[in-house]
Amino acid sequence: MKAKTVLGSAAVGVGLGTLLLPAAALADTTVSPATTPVGGTVVLTTTCNPKAGDALFRVTGPNRDQNVRSTTAAAGGGLSAELFTAGFTLGTYTVTATCGDGSNGGTASFTVTPIGGAQAGAGGGDGDTGVLVAGGALAAAAVAGGTYVLVRRRRRANAVA
């Protein structure tokens, strides 16, 4: 009877892991350009579904912790907003997007350089590896738990015999 319970728990763990993996693949945020001088403009874009509501971009860095709300549909789908970097301290900033339905829209980063510094790249997306790790951990825990119970049960059966 316990083996059925363990197998059921393993199936639930694998199912949850499988559900989390596609969400990580779909959630993506980009910042373009990835490097901008003080006073430059960066475009924040996320793949959040505009029908789910506004996206909220949280910008954190050396001297910033602010939210930027987006209601503008991006050309390739999703939502976007422009951020003017006047008053920003030099350094790297992280952008975390939250979709209108409360789901994670992904993260990206950009760097503010001195005026006259060269812009580089077309934008960076850091991906959402945390969700991938969580899904993998759920699947691994389910398999490990099932294996432990089966080995323990065999040892008891051998000890009784």
pLDDT digits (tens, 9 = 90+) for 85-118: 998 999 999 999 999 899 999 999 999 999 875 5
pLDDT, position 45: 92
Mean pLDDT computed over 65-70:
90
pLDDT digits (tens, 9 = 90+) for 21-41: 444 345 589 999 999 999 999
pLDDT surpasses 80 at 14 = no
CA dihedral sign of residues 21, 123, 126, 54: negative
pLDDT, position 136: 63
pTM of the model: 0.56
Angstrom distance (rounded) from CA 32 to CA 68? 15
Task: Report the Cα–Cα distance between both ends of the chain, in Å, rounded.
Answer: 20
Q: Which of 17-21, 56-60, 79-83, 143-147 has the least mean pLDDT?
A: 17-21
pLDDT band at 138 (very low <50, low <70, confident <90, very high): low
pLDDT, position 142: 65
Return the SS3 of 92.
Answer: strand
Average pLDDT, rounded, for the chain? 75
Single-letter amino acid code for the residue at 158? N
Question: CB neighbours (10 Å) of residue 29?
Answer: 30
